[in-house]
Amino acid sequence: MKEMTLPVTSVAETKKLHWGPVLAAVILTAGMLVVVQIMAKRPMLMVDRYFPEMGWIEIIALSLYAGFLTPRILNPKTSIRWRTILWLTFSVIFFSQLTLGILGLESFLMTGKLHLPIPALILAGPIYRGDNFFMPILFGSTLLFIGPAWCSYFCYIGGWDFLASQQVKRPRPMPKWRQPLRVAILILVVAAAYFLKVSEIPVALVGRLAALFGLGGLAVIIVRSRKKGVMVHCTTYCPIGAVANVLGKIAPFRLRIDDDCTGCRKCAMVCRYDALKPENIEQKAPGLSCTLCGDCVGTCKNSNIHYSFPGLSPQMARTLFIVIVVSFHAVSIGVARI
């Protein structure tokens, strides 16, 4: 059997190999936050909203935070645990800001206006309103750089769907009608948003319908994801997840399965996105619902699953991907999101 060739296999190797990626994550995070600090017309960093001119200290802290996370996610032995921590940290901060906004602290809201934290509204909201495309632009920018990884690193609902799926040790097969249902829900959400707009349905009623859709998603997480061991909400119910999987192909990152894969299916035991079914492994490519989470990479003892990026080795492709993801995460922590 081949030895695993991923970047990190020991503490010693971490210290030897990963100062470059750590420094890259620190610099990339600091660079993006400096641009936000200088170019934004209103304070975007949370610290600046309460302590003017102190945002520069927050930039330093978040940049070091990105450097702290990078080697821990690069290490295949700890990547799943730290990805979960990163993901849930973002979600907890997101909903904490939402709660504070509901309580009247409007400085915790990006626009000062409250909206429902339902991923589907990233798509449906602008269709109904006809304006305010900030969230679609932000979402689209993420897809451009890291593809569908928005769903496995940044979605404030997805982290809880992931935890629910972990209640079952091994993912159970999903029905063949999952994909058609997913497409039908996406079409229904887009059509409903347009119909509600042209029919001039009051915002209050539209808000109730959106909340009902969100509660339906919560029920899917509690009932189905916990039972199937698969993120049913993210892979079947959420329309923005379907958009991410398709449009995420514009990003250059991919997960590949080598021809010498033994078909042991250990990777499938950790995939909660229903992307490593027997036919996917046979075809040497994860399914459409893959979000590049990378949990399967550290599971393969033969290193037959790896990231790819044009012109880069698998190691460099994975390193670049994680540096970008971690940096985006740190920037998102510092910027008001609601």
Task: Summarize pLDDT for 154-211 with one digit per residue, the tens.
Answer: 998 999 999 999 999 899 989 989 999 999 999 999 999 999 999 999 988 988 999 9
Q: Is the pLDDT of residue 10 over 60?
A: no
Tell me how far apart the 2 most distant CA atoms of the chain are, in Å.
64
**pLDDT of residue 334 exceeding 80:** yes
Average pLDDT, the chain: 87
Domain that holds residue 330: 1-111+311-338
The 10s digit of each residue's pLDDT in 49-84 is 778 888 899 999 999 999 999 999 999 889 999 999
Within 217-266, strands assigned E span: 254-257
| Domain end position, chosen among 232, 253, 274 | 253
Q: How many CB atoms lie within 10 A of CB 319?
A: 25
Gap between the Cα atoms of 213 and 130, Å rounded: 20
- Nearest CA to 278 among 259, 288, 263, 266? 263
Q: How many CA atoms lie within 13 A of 41 on its CB side?
A: 2
Last residue of a domain, which of 253, 279, 294?
Answer: 253
Q: Please indicate, yes or no, whether residues 322 and 241 belong to a single structural domain of this protein.
A: no
Q: Do 101 and 179 reside in the same domain of the chain?
A: no
How many folded domains does the chain comprise?
2
